[in-house]
């Protein structure tokens, strides 16, 4: 089964959220920042931070001129802070090797630090209006259900080709179609409760097949008590401090399991998010010298 592009595009025109990174004044750099932030963080938490970043770092060279620690502090509690360090590195490469401009070509985008298959295509499509398949979890779910009549399985190398085959041939329509597919997955065809009564698609293979259950039931990752939460607590201490801190400050931030705390601290050092000074204090990346 295919997807009725006309119907989907009309629905998108009427129902799409008015997100600031979709407005005409958003540059490719602004869109790239939004895509990095949105990878693992919901829109409502991203939007205020993104607005701050656009005002503070309107072009890549502005971010490149800031320190890693400044970027990590500004990242706040968006989670998975390695993204902030990679974006800072990406800004430096854009400023020094690409004339402060985000490239248009997917292969060139893929060569940038922190830019993977999804982000490269999202930027090419949403910033430059290109006809490229953009596949995130929302798109995979809509395509799996509406076209193939099943819940999505694990990501596969076929996803890109299958999504590309659905794109309208007209370039501007194809770019809008990609945004519309993603929006349908985010607003209507959600993972747990697809609201089929509100769905604009006139036919859906999954509904026709009697809504078959997923073959693989995904476990929801818990956060409470995990190493990730411990890392977050330790990083909070350093973000809130004005300079390097003693080890005891970190020990007090996570008292429930010393072994877990040591693991979290090690992994933050290995990831380059924090560093140790010569006299044994701990600091955000770039602040330990
Ligand atoms: S009919 Fe339901 S399952 Fe099919 S695409 Fe629409 S929301 Fe998703």
CATH label of the domain that carries residue 268: 1.10.10
The alpha carbon of 35 and the centre of ligand 1 are apart by a number of angstroms equal to: 25
Rounded to whole angstroms, the Cα distance separating 275 from 280 reads 10
The alpha carbon of 214 and the centre of ligand 1 are apart by a number of angstroms equal to: 15
Q: Each residue's pLDDT tens digit in the chain (289 positions)?
A: 889 999 999 999 999 999 999 999 999 999 999 999 999 899 999 999 999 999 999 999 999 999 999 999 999 989 999 999 999 999 999 999 999 999 999 999 999 999 999 999 999 999 999 999 999 999 999 999 999 999 998 888 889 999 999 999 999 999 999 999 999 999 999 999 999 999 999 999 999 999 998 876 666 678 888 999 999 999 999 999 988 999 999 999 999 999 999 999 999 999 999 999 999 999 999 887 7
Kindly write down the DSSP assignment for every residue of 149-185, as one continuous string: SS---S--THHHHHHHTTS-SSHHHHHHHHHHHHHHH
Domain annotation covers residue 133: no
Out of 15, 166, 196, mutate this one to test ligand 1's pocket (max ligand atoms within 8 Å of CB): namely 196
Which residues approach ligand 1 with their CB closer than 6 A?
142, 145-146, 188-189, 194, 196, 199, 201, 204, 206-207
Look at residues 98, 126, 154 and tell me which one is the last residue of a structural domain.
126
- pTM summary value: 0.90
How many structural domains are present in the chain?
2
Beta bridge partners of 284: 274
Domain annotation covers residue 277: yes
Domain annotation covers residue 17: no
Look at residues 64, 99, 126 and tell me which one is the last residue of a structural domain.
126
What range defines the domain where residue 244 resides?
227-284
The alpha carbon of 189 and the centre of ligand 1 are apart by a number of angstroms equal to: 5
The alpha carbon of 128 and the centre of ligand 1 are apart by a number of angstroms equal to: 29
Instruction: Please tell me whether residue 283 adopts helix, strand or coil conformation.
Output: strand
Domain annotation covers residue 19: no
Domain annotation covers residue 81: yes
- Specify the CATH number for the domain of residue 59: 1.10.340.30
Domain annotation covers residue 276: yes
Instruction: Please tell me whether residue 52 adopts helix, strand or coil conformation.
Output: helix
Out of 138, 191, 199, mutate this one to test ligand 1's pocket (max ligand atoms within 8 Å of CB): namely 199
CB 153 within 8 A of CB 216: yes
- What residue owns the CA closest to ligand 1's atom 1? 196
Domain annotation covers residue 234: yes
Is the dihedral angle over the CA atoms 127, 133, 136, 142 positive or is it negative? positive
Rounded to whole angstroms, the Cα distance separating 8 from 204 reads 13
Domain annotation covers residue 56: yes
Look at residues 70, 104, 126 and tell me which one is the last residue of a structural domain.
126
Which of the residues are catalytic?
A: 35
């Amino acid at each position: 089964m295919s997807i009725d592009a006309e119907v989907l595009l009309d629905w998108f025109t009427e129902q799409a959220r008015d997100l600031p990174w979709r407005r005409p004044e958003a540059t490719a750099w602004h869109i790239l920042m939004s895509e990095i932030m949105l990878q693992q963080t919901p829109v409502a938490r991203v939007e205020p931070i993104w607005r701050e970043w656009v005002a503070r770092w309107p072009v890549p060279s502005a971010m490149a001129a800031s320190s890693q620690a400044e970027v990590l502090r500004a990242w706040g509690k968006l989670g998975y802070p390695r993204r902030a360090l990679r974006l800072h590195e990406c800004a430096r490469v854009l400023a020094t090797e690409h004339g402060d401009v985000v490239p248009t070509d997917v292969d060139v985008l893929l060569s940038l630090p922190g830019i993977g298959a999804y982000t490269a295509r999202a930027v090419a499509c949403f910033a430059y209006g290109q006809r490229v398949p953009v596949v995130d979890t929302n798109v995979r779910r809509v395509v799996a259900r509406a076209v193939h009549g099943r819940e999505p399985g694990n990501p596969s190398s076929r996803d890109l080709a299958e999504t590309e085959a659905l794109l309208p041939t007209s370039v501007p329509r194809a770019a809008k179609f990609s945004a519309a597919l993603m929006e349908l997955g985010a607003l209507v065809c959600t993972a747990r409760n697809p609201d089929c009564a509100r769905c604009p698609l006139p036919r859906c293979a999954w509904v026709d097949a009697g809504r078959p259950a997923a073959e693989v039931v995904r476990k929801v990752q818990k956060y409470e008590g995990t190493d990730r939460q411990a890392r977050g607590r330790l990083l909070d201490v350093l973000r809130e401090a004005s300079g390097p801190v003693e080890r005891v400050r970190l020990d007090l931030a996570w008292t429930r399991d010393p072994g877990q705390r040591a693991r979290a601290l090690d992994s933050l050092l290995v990831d380059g998010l924090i560093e140790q000074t010569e006299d044994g204090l701990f600091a955000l990346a770039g602040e330990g010298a």
